[in-house]
Structure 1
Amino acid sequence: MRGSLTRALTGALGLIAAAAGQLATAAPVAADSVVVGGRQAQITDAPWVVALSSRDRFGGTRAGQFCGGVLVAPTKVLTAAHCLGREVLGGEPWEVRDFVVIAGRAALRGQGGQEVRISDTWVNPDYDPTTNSGDLAVLTLVSALPQSYVIGVARTGDAAYTPGTEADVYGWGDTTGSGTYASALRTARVQVLPDGACERAYPGGFGVPYRGDTMLCAGDPRGGKDACQGDSGGPLVAKGLLVGLVSWGSGCGQAENPGVYTRVSAVLPESF
């Protein structure tokens, strides 16, 4: 649910409204260019990407998908903390009767894969919903997914965090920045940017300041490629390792406003 500033509430309300409209009209959702400027992804190439789903809350047209996540252990999924907020879920996570992750399935309404219920949630106690600093949560699954689905996590100082490194962002979110959501997994190639790029784009003032200690800046210096609403919590992968989670930004695919990601190495507990 990446959107203007936190792409949580705006994306969530948009998905709820879209779900209501889709249920009423049974109209298909366009899915040709997601993660803005992206291309279709094969789940076999990225089995660690999962969709967070509640059909009760978000409708069945897109299988209830509202955020992304990434499998970092057979029973552990990382996502954005803001995806679990009351504004998004309409209550606490344990109150959402049909809260599941969809794994091993690129097309949300397709066949195959697994839908696994959530047994527990952990939200980073240092998460600040006002600034989106520390935007990370951990979901525990009731049953284990295959070890082959798991991706490794880049640690502090890893070369994957070097500015200029190519990275891939994944999701089922808005394809255009105007509420056109995808039903099949997409990916876009961006690059890790210097902290200064996001410090200039988000200096604070009347908005939210970028914090390089807990956030990661990534995008395309030319614009046109980015995560968007509905992609929140999804992975940013560089050199085969997880480096970030889609968190926030202003607009989608704008060269002057790169995407801001949770810097996983700085926020994930060392004991994890």
Structure 2
Amino acid sequence: MRRPFARSWTGVLATAAAAAALPLASPVPASADSVIVGGSPVKVSESPWVVALSSRDRFGGTRSGQFCGGVVTGSTTVLTAAHCMSEDVLGAPLDRVTDLKVIAGRGDLGTSEGKEILVSHVKINPEYDAHSNSGDVAALTLAEPLPEGYVLPMAGEGDPAYKPGTQADVYGWGDTTGAGDYARTLHAAQVRVLSDAVCEKAYPGSTDGTYKAKTMLCAGEMLGGRDACQGDSGGPLVAQGRLIGLVSWGSGCGRPGSPGVYTRISDVPRVLRARA
């Protein structure tokens, strides 16, 4: 999986292909003007459903303690990658992380804009397989609701947004070069949804993971370049105004022939979806 900050790989999308399948640890501060490879800064006001996961106790105050990304799918529900909630990423068992928060409306992690909301409950996908990375999704319940305007619709099974060749955008505050250059501001990169055949050929099974079409999809450029990277895990992949994936894993960042792999939203269990 993409490592989180330390460096694991949740968070912002570096314009390279997905990073090695490892959770995100806290990154070294990046300059405010650093840009995701193949991506560019975006306004959080135009994509309010993108949120940062934070724990200052685990990752320090720099960059607001961000270590992974997430997406608002209900007024009190945020989806993220299951591996972001692992001890490997957090450096401690989840039940010992008492300051886990979601930061909404904060594009620049060096500011106090937006809102920080405590996470009251975490539910990991019971079908999550850390070996293959299948089912890499968790649902966070917020202690207080966000406005309905923050909620991003989820694409269901058979949605045309999953069609190979569809343009999509991935969002995050992660590594922008694949070399530990973490962004302070929200970035986005445009990628293309790739066919299952291409993804299966790229990831037939290794220590990184195994591509499984039912629970995953991949996106990027086969020649390399635009992609998610460490610190972007759990962040959203959006196509045609709908959520189609969550940053999950890959081999390196932006490598030719190694596209980023995402959790397929149409396969997210009902128990993790927001209540109607």
> How does the TM-score come out when normalised to structure 2?
0.89
Which deviates more from structure 2 when the two are superposed, residues 93-102 or residues 234-243? 93-102
For 1:24-103, list aligned pairs within 5 A. Answer: 29=31, 31-34=33-36, 36-103=37-104
Report what 1:25 is aligned to: none
Q: Structure 2 vs 1, CA of residues 97 and 234 (structure 1 numbering), >3 Å: closer, same or farther?
A: same
- 2:183 is paired with a residue of what secondary structure? coil
CA contact (8 A) 2:153 2:242 kept: yes
Report how far residue 208 of structure 1 moved: 2.2
Give the conservation status (yes or no) of the 8 Å contact 1:7–1:247. no
d(CA) in 1 for partners of 2:113 and 2:39?
Answer: 24
How many residues are matched?
258
Code of the aligned partner of 1:7: L
Question: Which whole-Å CA distance do the structure 1 matches of 2:130 and 2:42 have between them?
Answer: 31
- Amino acid in the other structure paired with 2:137: L
The separation in 1 between residues aligned to 2:85 and 2:130, in whole angstroms, is 11
Letter of the 1:141 counterpart = L
Paired amino acid for 1:175: T
Q: CA deviation at 1:205?
A: 4.8
Aligned residue for 2:185, secondary structure, equals coil
Q: Is the 8 A contact 1:7 1:228 kept in 2?
A: no
Task: Output the CA distance in 2 between the equivalents of 1:81 and 1:144.
Answer: 22
Give the alignment of 1:173-192 within 5 angstroms: 173-192=174-193
Q: What is the CA distance between 1:112 and its match in structure 2? A: 2.0
Is 1:6 the equivalent of 2:7?
no
Q: Aligned with 2:270: secondary structure?
A: coil
Q: After superposition, what is the alpha-carbon deviation per residue over 1:200-258, rounded to whole angstroms, capped at 9, x for unaligned?
A: 11111555221111001100233210000000000000000000000000011123100
**Which structure exhibits the higher relative contact order, with contacts defined as CA atoms closer than 8 Å and separated by 6 or more residues?**
2
For structure 1, which segment, 104-113 or 38-47, has the greater mean C-alpha deviation from structure 2 after superposition? 104-113
Supply the distance in 2 between the matched residues of 1:173 and 1:221 (Cα, whole angstroms).
Answer: 21
Q: Which residue of 2 aligns with 1:156?
A: 157
TM-score (norm 1): 0.90
The code of the aligned residue for 2:21 comes to T
How far apart, CA to CA, are the structure 2 residues paired with 1:166 and 1:95?
40
Amino acid of the residue matched to residue 146 of structure 1?
P
What is the CA–CA distance in structure 2 between the aligned matches of 1:258 and 1:182, rounded to whole Å? 21
Gaps of 5+ in 1: 23-27
Aligned to 2:258: 257
Task: Specify the SS of the correspondent of 1:196.
Answer: helix
After TM superposition, what 4+ stretches of structure 1 lie above 6 angstroms from structure 2?
Answer: none
Q: Is the 8 A contact 2:169 2:188 kept in 1?
A: yes
Task: State the Cα deviation string for residues 6-41 of structure 1 (Å, max 9, x = none).
Answer: 131xx32xx26x3xxx6xxxxx6354222x321001
Given that 2:133 and 2:210 are in contact with CA atoms closer than 8 Å, whether structure 1 keeps it comes out as no
Instruction: Supply the AA of the counterpart residue of 1:6.
Output: A
In structure 2, how many angstroms separate the alpha carbons of the residues matched to 1:104 and 1:206? 36
Say if 1:136 and 1:268, in contact at 8 Å, map to a contact too: no
- Partner residue of 1:244? 245
2:14 maps to none
Q: Superposition RMSD on alpha carbons, in Å?
A: 1.6
Cα distance 1:184–1:54, how it changes in 2: closer, same or farther (>3 A)?
same
Give the corresponding residue for 1:113: 114
2:132 matched residue in structure 1: 131
In structure 2, runs of 5+ residues without a counterpart are 10-17
- Per mean C-alpha deviation after superposition, the further-off stretch among 119-128 and 217-226 is 217-226
Could you tell me how far 1:90 is from its partner in structure 2?
2.3
Q: Percent identity?
A: 55
